[in-house]
Amino acid sequence: MKTACLLLAEGFEEVEALTPADYLRRADINVTIAGIAGRKVKGAHGIVVETDAGPEALERDYDAIVLPGGMPGARNLAESSTVRNLISRHYAQGKLIAAICAAPAVVLHGACNLLQGKRFTGYPGTEDSVQGAHFVPERVVVDGNIITSRGPGTAGEFAVAIIAALENRQKADEVAQHALLK
């Protein structure tokens, strides 16, 4: 069974976190929702989520790391050396790194410098802070082992792209169809 770790920091965008967690679980991917500072994490819109695990989950290995955006959530992820080390370790191993909204610019580029020469997308305006990468105004962009997406309205498509990368297109299409995304 494939595994994914979805990281939550205070101020995360709720739709961008819970939609991928839900869709990946529908695809029988073992998702660990991990609070980087504790088990209860408050989102950008005041919704408190009790996670599956706390920061200890960041010590393990996964097939994918999933980063929701939101502010100050993305900035809080970027400021964590444990998060940066987890992302860098997994990226170096060729594992999947998926980021949405502000997370591509703030975390993948600003904190981890992983977008150099890559195609990416993100929340409108965040591309202005990314130098040396190629912004593509598409809803989801896949470049190698990095998946990026625009924002809350693209969370379903983002999740389906992660499923396709971890499992296969057929499984991704099944989940999309059952969720009425297609």
* 65 and 59 Cβ atoms separated by less than 8 Å: no
Please identify which of the residues 7, 98, 101, 160 carries the catalytic annotation. Answer: 101
Alpha helices in the chain (DSSP H): 14-26, 73-78, 81-92, 103, 155-166, 169-178
What tokens does 172 get? Answer: 């991704």
**For residue 35, what are the β-bridge partners?**
8
Closest alpha carbon to 179 in 49, 8, 12, 25:
25
- Is the peptide bond preceding residue 72 cis, with omega within 30 degrees of 0? yes
101 is an active site residue: yes
Active site residues: 101
